[in-house]
Amino acid sequence: MNLRLFLPVALLALTACGSSGTATDSSSAAAPEGALVVATTVSPLTSIVAAVGGDNVDIQGIVPEGVNSHTFEPAPQDAELLSKADIIFVNGLKLEDPTLALAEANMKDGAEIVELGTIALPEADYIYDFSFPEDEGKPNPHLWTDPTYAIQYADLVRQKLSERDPANAAEYQANYDAFKAEAEKLAEAVSTDQQTVPAGGLKLVTYHDAYAYFARNFGWSVVGAIQPKTFDEPTPTEIAGLIEQIRTEGVPTIFGSEVFPSTVLEAIAAETGVRYEDSLRDDDLPGEPGSPEHSLLELLRYNYRTMISGLGGDPAALDALVFTIAVPDMAYYPQ
Ligand SMILES: [Zn+2]
């Protein structure tokens, strides 16, 4: 795809100068006439859909990178995109309820909403925790930080695109096979490198609670995630509890996120004497849109290597990994 790209700054500029910001402005120049219009929400999903759909579909992401997807409210003009989309891929698991509601109210006849996470994760496997407590009814939605779930998402995308556009099914299959092979290489590299972390050290204290499923599948433990369900800062009592836990568990590093800057982690690090690493990326893909690094797999590689080196390991296999699939450009719908 050679889509016109809209960085957050460009989005602001569009809004500021009163552009009508119509779907026509952003639609793919390269997607063939009559291509499926596919709307997606968060950037990890958009990256997966782009990897499978390649140049055959017109993909438009709704949630800009680097914003809090958990509190994101779609703009009224997103209704226009959602009214044109043939398929709307969302994570589900209650992550994007406002966008889902807007989609349901505006989707055209024959359009479909596919909740990738809700399909991929049986209810018995839901994880609830401090940031996503069970009494709120919203499970932790972050399946995509685990490459095995990213592969399942890609397979669901492949199935749906092939069903709606059978003429290109062989290409979706080939794209999926390539994505799966790369994600498996990534899983293998993290499994190798995590063995270099000193025994008993695969313990995560993060600000944003995005690694619960990854941790369960890869044998790590999440000592704590600091961000409360409101996405506000934790209370002094909650902070005191975490400081206690960090001391008990003896973690060397705590991990913050550039998407959710917080002074609380800094204060906790100062109080406990542990290192504060503030650069996990959550859903802010590395590199500029259109560059080879701008993909979910590169984001995960970056996060895993940051965690493993922060915990005293050597991320040599992750560093040595070379991804060979071409990453198609992604477009964000103008806001
Ligand atoms: Zn998140």
The reply to whether 131 and 200 lie within a common domain is no
Q: State the amino acid at position 228 in one-letter form.
A: P
Strands 87-90 and 112-115, sheet pairing: parallel
The reply to whether 174 and 201 lie within a common domain is no
Q: Say how many Å lie between the CA of residue 166 and the centre of ligand 1.
A: 34
The reply to whether 51 and 107 lie within a common domain is yes
The reply to whether 195 and 159 lie within a common domain is no
The reply to whether 226 and 80 lie within a common domain is no
Reading the block at residue 314, the tokens are: 């050597």
Query: Residue 232's CB: how many other CB atoms inside 10 A?
Result: 8
Tally the domains of the chain: 2
Q: State the amino acid at position 110 in one-letter form.
A: G
Q: Tell me, yes or no, whether 111 lies in a domain.
A: yes
Q: Say how many Å lie between the CA of residue 153 and the centre of ligand 1.
A: 17
Give me the pLDDT at residue 225, please. 85
The reply to whether 205 and 138 lie within a common domain is no
Q: Say how many Å lie between the CA of residue 99 and the centre of ligand 1.
A: 15
Q: What three-state secondary structure class fits 197?
A: coil
What one-character-per-residue DSSP string does 185-196 give? HHHHHHHHHHTT
Name the β-bridge partners of 331.
Answer: 60
Q: Say how many Å lie between the CA of residue 67 and the centre of ligand 1.
A: 10
Reading the block at residue 274, the tokens are: 């542990």
Q: Say how many Å lie between the CA of residue 31 and the centre of ligand 1.
A: 30
Q: What three-state secondary structure class fits 69?
A: coil
Give me the pLDDT at residue 272, please. 94
pTM: 0.89
Q: What is the CATH number for 136?
A: 3.40.50.1980
Q: Say how many Å lie between the CA of residue 145 and the centre of ligand 1.
A: 10
The reply to whether 141 and 125 lie within a common domain is yes
Q: Tell me, yes or no, whether 164 lies in a domain.
A: yes
Q: What three-state secondary structure class fits 162?
A: helix
Give the distance, in angstroms, between the CA of residue 220 and the centroid of all CA atoms in the same chain: 19
Residue for token pair 């952003």: 26
Question: What range does the domain containing 283 cover?
Answer: 186-320
Q: Please give the backbone phi and psi of residue 206, each rounded to the nearest 5 degrees, phi first.
A: -120, 165
Q: Tell me, yes or no, whether 1 lies in a domain.
A: no
60/203 Cα distance (integer angstroms): 36
The reply to whether 34 and 117 lie within a common domain is yes
134/32 Cα distance (integer angstroms): 45
Q: State the amino acid at position 290 in one-letter form.
A: G
CB-facing half-sphere around the CA of 284: CA atoms within 13 A? 12
The reply to whether 193 and 174 lie within a common domain is no
Q: Say how many Å lie between the CA of residue 17 and the centre of ligand 1.
A: 31
Could you read off the pLDDT of 138-161 as tens digits, one per residue?
Answer: 999 999 999 999 999 999 999 999
Q: Say how many Å lie between the CA of residue 29 and the centre of ligand 1.
A: 31
pLDDT < 70 stretches in the chain? 1-30, 327-329, 334-335
Q: Say how many Å lie between the CA of residue 212 and the centre of ligand 1.
A: 11
Give me the pLDDT at residue 327, please. 67
Q: Tell me, yes or no, whether 3 lies in a domain.
A: no
The reply to whether 125 and 231 lie within a common domain is no
Closest CA to 119 of 92, 83, 154: 92
The reply to whether 219 and 269 lie within a common domain is yes
Reading the block at residue 127, the tokens are: 């994880």
CB-facing half-sphere around the CA of 170: CA atoms within 13 A? 1
CB 126 within 8 A of CB 212: no
Reading the block at residue 157, the tokens are: 């995308």
Q: Say how many Å lie between the CA of residue 30 and the centre of ligand 1.
A: 31
Q: Say how many Å lie between the CA of residue 169 and the centre of ligand 1.
A: 32
C-beta pairs of 103-107 under 8 Å, 24+ apart in sequence: 103/39, 105/79, 106/79, 106/82, 107/82, 107/83
| DSSP category for residue 331 | E
Give the distance, in angstroms, between the CA of residue 248 and the centroid of all CA atoms in the same chain: 31
Q: Tell me, yes or no, whether 91 lies in a domain.
A: yes
